[in-house]
Amino acid sequence: MQDITPATPASVQMIQSYGPAGFRIAGVDYAGSVLITALSTTNVTVTELNALSIDDFNRLWTLDPPLEVLLVGTGATHDVLDPSLRTALKAHGVGVDAMATGAAARTFNVLLSEERRVATLLLLPLAH
């Protein structure tokens, strides 16, 4: 059997698993929703898509180099971002895509392994 896991440094925040209680990221368990960049993961208090605001993303705007892609995991199913939030996020010059949390987690890992400047905010899969 051939290992197809991308070779990444231990500090890179690859998402290893997720479920209704939280996430396992780079060997650390997180309860609740999270905001992840290549080098850090933090818990966020938001549990529902309609409760997200631009302030939930503030720490992303100081990244150097700047963020290129932002994924929003919307919970168990795909949902759309509020148009005003989408506009506010795009005003920061990043591509924004919303999808179910599982899809966002997998897409984040792929983009991270391609060394893209990506971040994701993942709501719990059953918090939708």
Domains in the chain: boundaries: 15-122
Q: What is the CA radius of gyration of the chain?
A: 14
Q: Has residue 105 got a pLDDT over 90?
A: yes
Rounded Cα gap, residues 21 and 31, in angstroms: 6
Mean pLDDT of the chain: 90
Q: Has residue 76 got a pLDDT over 50?
A: yes
91-117: average pLDDT = 95
pLDDT confidence of 24, banded at 50, 70, 90? very high
Looking at residue 126, what is its pLDDT? 64
Name the strands in the sheet holding 15-19, side by side, starting at the edge strand that comes first in the sequence: 15-19, 22-25, 28-31
41-56: average pLDDT = 94
pLDDT confidence of 6, banded at 50, 70, 90? low
Q: Has residue 61 got a pLDDT over 70?
A: yes
The percentage of residues in the chain with a pLDDT greater than 70, rounded to a whole number, is 90
Dihedral pair phi/psi, residue 109, rounded to 5°: -60, -40
Rounded Cα gap, residues 43 and 96, in angstroms: 20
Distance (Å) of CA 97 to CA 4, 11, 103: 26, 25, 11
Looking at residue 4, what is its pLDDT? 43
CATH 3.40.50.1260 given to domain 15-122: no
DSSP 9: -
Cβ–Cβ under 8 Å, residues 64 and 128 = no
Q: Give me 24's structure tokens.
A: 């396992």
pLDDT confidence of 43, banded at 50, 70, 90? very high
Name the residue among 62, 54, 57 with its Cα closest to residue 88.
Answer: 54
Return the sign of the alpha-carbon dihedral for residues 122, 69, 78, 55.
positive
Looking at residue 5, what is its pLDDT? 52
